[in-house]
Amino acid sequence: MKKIILSTTVLALLLFTGCGSAPTIDETQENATDANAQDANANNSETIASDETVIDENSNANADSNEMTMSGLEGKMQTVTFEFDKFKVQANQVEKVEANVELAQGDANTYMIKLEGNCDEWGSDEYNYALGLKRAKTIKQTMISKGVNASRITMVSYGESNPTCTDKSESCWSNNRRVDFKLLP
């Protein structure tokens, strides 16, 4: 369950005034601040206000027994990796997809399946996220062709933002170009 804490703080009011005078600012009223600046008859007066909020989105997950079962099944799902800048399933990855389909149609047949597309660290732009999505879509189409109901599958792309490792190595980059299989109630 998400825990959201909101606290609003007025962080800054800048007042730029003409030489020799700096009018007092009422920090709680922006309009009044503008008026003060005009009243000061300054040569160059300007007000900048900045109100900023803090939102804490750290979550506390409570696992029940059903979630434990789901987690156990999810652990059996195998990650499928991809070639650099590609979204076609490689021949050596087909068995993993088939094993996941078997699990999805068997013990995990009551759960939704979330396909998470991921990329290596080369790029943080939207295109990288789209590449991750295309990888997930390739897997989705394969699963549908093997009998999994399309309505059970959702997809998301994390781009480069959810790597399994952060080393600067070939194997690390290779492992990050992947689709993970997650189960949802």
Candidate list 29, 38, 41, 46; residue touching other proteins; CB under 8 A: 46
Q: How far apart are CA 158 and CA 174, in angstroms?
A: 16
Q: Which residue in 169, 6, 139 sits closest to 78, CA to CA?
A: 139
Candidate list 157, 178, 179, 183; residue touching other proteins; CB under 8 A: 157
Could you tell me which residues come within 8 angstroms of residue 162 by beta carbon, excluding any fewer than 6 positions away? 116, 118
Q: How far is the CB of 147 from other proteins (least distance, A)?
A: 18
Could you tell me which residues come within 8 angstroms of residue 102 by beta carbon, excluding any fewer than 6 positions away? none
Q: How far apart are CA 106 and CA 102, in angstroms?
A: 6
Candidate list 17, 81, 93, 100; residue touching other proteins; CB under 8 A: 17
Restricting to residues 95-134, name those near other proteins by CB under 8 A: 122-131, 133-134
Q: How far apart are CA 136 and CA 166, in angstroms?
A: 22
Q: How far is the CB of 102 from other proteins (least distance, A)?
A: 23
If you write DSSP's letter for every residue of 24-35 in order, what string do you get?
---TT-HHHHHH
Restricting to residues 52-91, name those near other proteins by CB under 8 A: 52-59, 83-85
Q: Which is nearer to other proteins, 46 or 95 (CB)?
A: 46
If you write DSSP's letter for every residue of 112-147 in order, what string do you get?
EEEEEE---SS--SHHHHHHHHHHHHHHHHHHHHTT
Q: Quick check: 167 binds other proteins (CB under 8 A)?
A: no
Q: How far is the CB of 71 from other proteins (least distance, A)?
A: 16
Candidate list 98, 173, 175, 182; residue touching other proteins; CB under 8 A: 173
Q: How far is the CB of 16 from other proteins (least distance, A)?
A: 5
Candidate list 1, 8, 64, 91; residue touching other proteins; CB under 8 A: 8
Q: How far apart are CA 140 and CA 156, in angstroms?
A: 11
> Which residues contribute to the site for other proteins (CB under 8 A)?
4, 6-8, 10-22, 25, 27, 43-44, 46, 48, 50-59, 83-85, 122-131, 133-134, 136-137, 140, 154-159, 161-164, 166, 170, 173-174, 184
